[in-house]
């Protein structure tokens, strides 16, 4: 089955790629509906930047940004995910209609988050994380990045189970770019089948990440544009799909949808036939 597409909707002033573009609720809702029309199966709404060096924001401010957007998109029939590390925001977002909690910290940033999700019917995406964005690269020390990520995700899966979250509701995310230097991300991409082999659904987010830009800059000795990063994202999303991931998280839904469709047609299938379900 072709990977689902999770469209990124940042309702923030400072996200690394699109901060400020959709900071007010009306603009964010319109963009979310546009992403859905372009082929997004899930809309991932976030109110706190996790770019390298980003500082935390109060949960009340995060909720002020995201809850009206989630409520409107859910009412329009969209499948909505909340990108948060805060238990209180997760609860409020689920109450507003979110069906997935996407916690890049895997439940480590807020010890109450896993229990909060366990009380609901929402799914949870557990990201691989070694510490806050402010100093994430200082923690990028691995024996084998794939083996270490597998082991640390297994610990988060065990924590989710201990909190009362059934395995069927758990998704894992190897955390591209989070506490990983350039070459480590490529090693992780190559090792994705081993992450998929762990059992849970796997979510992959390479969209516009620095390791893609670095590869493009090496070739052209110039700064990678957003368009070129989106092309690189589409390629890595196809590679992730071929590894068997459940979903890819991207900014440019249309480009990724096209890439996945072309890859599918090249194998003799059409992933966007009328039978595709969201």
Query: Which entry of 209, 210, 228, 257 is annotated as an active-site residue?
Result: 209
Longest dimension (CA), the chain: 51
Strand-pairing partners, residue 81, are: 44, 100
- 25 CB-near residues (< 8 Å, 6+ apart): 11, 68, 69, 72
194 is catalytic: no
Hey, what's the torsion of the CAs at 101, 48, 176, 258, to 10 degrees?
80
Cα distances from 131 to residues 53, 134, 140, 159, 206, in angstroms, run: 11, 8, 10, 17, 19
Answer yes or no: 209 catalytic. Answer: yes
- Distance, CA of 201 to chain centre: 13
Residue 218: C-alpha distances to residues 140, 176, 224 (Å): 22, 19, 10
Catalytic choice (150, 201, 210, 249): 249
CB 81 within 8 A of CB 42: yes
Q: Catalytic positions, please?
A: 209, 249
């Amino acid at each position: 089955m072709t990977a689902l597409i999770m469209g990124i909707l940042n309702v923030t002033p400072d996200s690394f790629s699109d901060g400020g573009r959709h900071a007010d609720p009306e603009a964010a809702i319109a963009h979310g509906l546009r992403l859905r029309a372009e082929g997004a199966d899930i809309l991932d709404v976030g109110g706190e930047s996790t770019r390298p060096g980003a500082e935390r924001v109060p949960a009340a401010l995060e909720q002020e940004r995201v809850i009206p957007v989630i409520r409107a998109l859910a009412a329009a029939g969209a499948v909505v995910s909340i990108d948060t590390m805060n238990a209180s925001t997760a609860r409020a977002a689920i109450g507003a209609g979110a069906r997935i909690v996407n916690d890049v910290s895997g439940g480590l940033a807020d010890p109450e988050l896993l229990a909060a999700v366990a009380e609901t019917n929402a799914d949870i995406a557990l990201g691989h994380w070694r510490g806050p964005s402010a100093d994430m690269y200082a923690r990028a020390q691995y024996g084998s990045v794939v083996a270490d990520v597998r082991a640390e995700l297994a610990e988060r899966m065990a924590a989710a189970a201990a909190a009362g979250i059934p395995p069927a509701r758990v998704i894992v995310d190897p955390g591209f770019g989070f506490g990983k230097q350039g070459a480590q991300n490529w090693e992780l991409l190559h090792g994705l089948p081993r992450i998929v082999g762990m059992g849970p659904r796997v979510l992959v987010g390479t969209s516009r990440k620095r390791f893609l830009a670095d590869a493009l800059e090496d070739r052209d000795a110039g700064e990678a544009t957003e368009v070129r990063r989106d092309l690189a994202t589409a390629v890595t999303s196809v590679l992730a799909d071929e590894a068997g991931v459940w979903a890819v998280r991207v900014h440019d839904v249309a480009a990724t949808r096209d890439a996945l469709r072309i890859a599918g047609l090249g194998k003799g299938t059409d992933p966007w036939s009328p039978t595709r379900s969201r």
